[in-house]
Amino acid sequence: MALKHSHIGFVYLSFILFLVRFGLANYKPALNGNKALNIATHGINALLLATAGA
């Protein structure tokens, strides 16, 4: 059950980061290339896939 809840949490985080990056691309494109934001996005998506596979 904890695995299911963590997967759903990563889905929400991935969606929120998608919206943040979409907003940055439209309003402040210079901030969209932020290295920390890219690492966070890839990390969340990797954890999302890991929990889906488990």
Global confidence as pTM: 0.83
The pLDDT score that the predictor gives to residue 43 is 96
- List average pLDDT for each run of 10 residues in the chain, which is 54 residues long: 94 95 91 88 95 91
Residue 3's pLDDT is what? 93
Domain that includes residue 37, residue range: 2-53
pLDDT of residue 29: 87
What is the structure's pLDDT at 23?
92
pLDDT at 17: 93
Number of DSSP helices (H) and strands (E) in the chain, helices first? 2, 0
**How many structural domains does the chain have?**
1
3-state secondary structure of 10: helix
CA distance 30 to 40: 17
